A and B are shown apart, each in its own frame.
Chain A
Amino acid sequence: MIPQDQEERRLLIAEYVLGLHRGERAVEIERWLAEDEDAGRLARHWREHWLGAADLLPARRPPARLWRRVARETGLSRPWWHAGWASVSVWRTVSAALLVAVVLLLGPLRQPAPIYTVVLQAPGESARPGWRVTVSDGGDLRLTPLVEGQYAADRSVQFWTLENEAPGPRSLGLVEPGRSLVIPASQVGSVESGQLFELTLEPQGGSPKDRPTGPVLFIGRAVEI
């Protein structure tokens, strides 16, 4: 039973976050925290503070096998032939790739790993990613939609970046809602941690000025990965 007394309630939350309640009692408290906004907020504050206690411990270098186990369990280490080695489409793709490799003479077989990522979110809706940006170590930028988007026919969605210390945003071109886009390194320019990227809604064909004129649809900052 959840106490009525405010002081007791607050102590109960502190005890729960510390892990002092188990079994049915813990389930009862969890349910209460999910339903009571103030109680849930206090529990979150406690959890944020206890991070400080975890950080007091000296870090332990994980053995390499631990990541391999995680990657295997999540499917991230699955070799490319594992998903469907017998399928016609895979073999067709493999053949095409080999052909391209031969034609290009030692062209790169793997895409370079991304070194920056940006999650573009609608302003004020921090938990709803709309697009993802990845920048490879070669500097190419890939913009990938995470949501469907529909806008009036007389409008265009334009992609911008604001470099650190730069005087104003720079257009990276128009974007078709719901479709991926790759922008070559030469057009992207240098990318730094914290660099701002955004999508704005502009008149058809793009902003008439050298800066955004319409509302921001999605925005985010580059994070080094």
Chain B
Amino acid sequence: MDDDQQRQQEQGDALMLACAGGDGAAFQRLYSIEAPRMLALARRFTGESAAAEDAVQDTFVQVWRNAHRFRRERGSARAWLYSLLRYRLINQQRRGRPADHQALPGDDWPDPGLSPEQCSLEADRDRRLRDCLQGLRGDRRRPILMAFYHGFTYEQIAESLAVPLGTIKSRVRSGLKGLQECLRL
């Protein structure tokens, strides 16, 4: 993790702890920092703005009410925020229609490999994940990214890509194993 990420993480953690103490200004600051990216993810997941806004709203309301449950030793505030959001989105999706197929970050990446233009500016953690994703074959990477960005299940991925379910499971698991090794998890 580089200095910027470290600072970003510490800032998120401190703001979340301040929220736990009832600090409304800290909560608003946390919202202004994280809501834009969370809204982008929610929009990608749901495919429409109203549902995405509902999800982000619910997540922040939940954060304000449960900030006292945040424990820094169990992960960063940002990771907690995004987990809550994805949990909310996944539950929402179970009740509704899956999002339509959209372009994903990574669609334009070489298969596999990394061009100098593509690896220049990202910070450490982001670059590490991105490098590892780029190290995967496209047919492994794409279903994993469909699960992350669209919240697709194995069945939905198989249907969307018109590939047998067993093949998709095998590709995703092979891709996750590759990521696990690359990220040294």
Could you tell me which A residues sit within 8 Å of B by CB distance? 10-11, 14-15, 18-20, 22-23, 40, 42, 44-63, 66-67, 69-71, 73-74, 76, 113-114, 117-119, 121, 126-127, 129, 132, 134, 144, 146, 220-221, 223, 225
Contact check, A52 vs B79: say whether CB atoms are below 8 A apart. no
Given contacts A48-B76, A56-B126, A126-B72, contact A11 B177 (CB under 8 A): yes
Contact of B23 among A18, A67, A132 (CB under 8 A): A132
Q: A47 touching B83 by the CB < 8 A rule?
A: yes
Contact yes or no, A74 B64, CB < 8 A = yes
Give the CA-CA distance A83 to B108 in the complex, in Å. Answer: 54
Q: What 5 pairs across the A-B complex have the smallest Cβ distances?
A: A59-B36, A52-B129, A52-B126, A57-B40, A225-B29
Bitwise interface map of B from 87 to 98 toward A, beta carbon under 8 Å scored 1, else 0: 000100010000
**A113 with B25: in contact, given A56-B126, A225-B15 (CB under 8 Å)?**
yes
User: What separation, in Å, do the CA atoms of A74 and B82 have in the docked complex?
Assistant: 19
| Residue of B with least CB distance to A49 | B129
Interface of B toward A, CB cutoff 8 Å: 10-11, 14-15, 17-18, 20-21, 23-29, 31, 35-41, 43-44, 53, 56-57, 60-61, 64-65, 70-76, 78-79, 82-83, 86, 90, 94, 105-106, 122, 125-130, 133, 144-145, 147-149, 151, 153-154, 172-173, 176-177, 179-180, 183, 185
Q: Which chain B residue lies CB-closest to A118?
A: B14
CB pair B37–A57 under 8 Å, yes or no, is yes
Task: Give the complex CA separation of A127 and B151 in angstroms.
Answer: 31
Contacts of A146 in B (CB 8 A): 21
Bound Cα distance from A47 to B148, whole angstroms? 11
**Distance, CA A2 to CA B147, complexed state (A):** 22
Contact across chains for B82 and A67 when beta carbons are under 8 A apart: no
Enumerate chain B residues within 8 angstroms of A144, measured Cβ to Cβ: 21
Chain A's closest residue to B21 (CB) is: A132
Question: Closest Cβ of chain B: how far from A219's Cβ, in Å?
Answer: 12
A56 touches B75 (CB 8 A): no
A-side contacts of B79, CB under 8 Å: 44, 47-48, 51
The reply to whether A18 and B144 contact each other, CB–CB distance below 8 Å, is: yes
Q: How many angstroms from the CA of A73 to the CA of B64 in the assembled complex?
A: 10
Contact present for B180 and A14 (CB under 8 Å): yes
- Point out the residue from A19, A42, A73, A221 that lies within 8 Å of B14, measured CB to CB: A221
* Least Cβ–Cβ distance between A24 and chain B, in angstroms: 12
B26/A225 in contact, CB under 8 A: yes
Contact between chains at B180 and A62 (CB < 8 Å) = no
A20 touches B154 (CB 8 A): yes
Partner of A129 from the list B11, B21, B126 (CB cut-off 8 Å) is: B21
Also in contact, A11 and B176, with CB within 8 A (given A55-B126, A129-B17): yes
Q: Does B75 lie within 8 Å of A127, measured CB to CB? A: no
CA A119 to CA B43, docked complex, whole Å: 33
| Assembled-state Cα–Cα distance A47/B21 (Å) | 25
Please state if B37 and A59 are interface contacts (CB–CB under 8 Å). yes
Report which of A51, A58, A76 forms a contact with B82, defined as CB distance below 8 A: A51
Does B70 contact A127, Cβ atoms closer than 8 Å? yes
11 contacts between A and B (CB under 8 A): A14-B180, A19-B147, A19-B148, A19-B153, A53-B133, A54-B82, A57-B149, A70-B31, A126-B72, A129-B17, A129-B20
A13 to chain B, nearest CB (A): 9
Contact A57 B82 (CB under 8 A): no
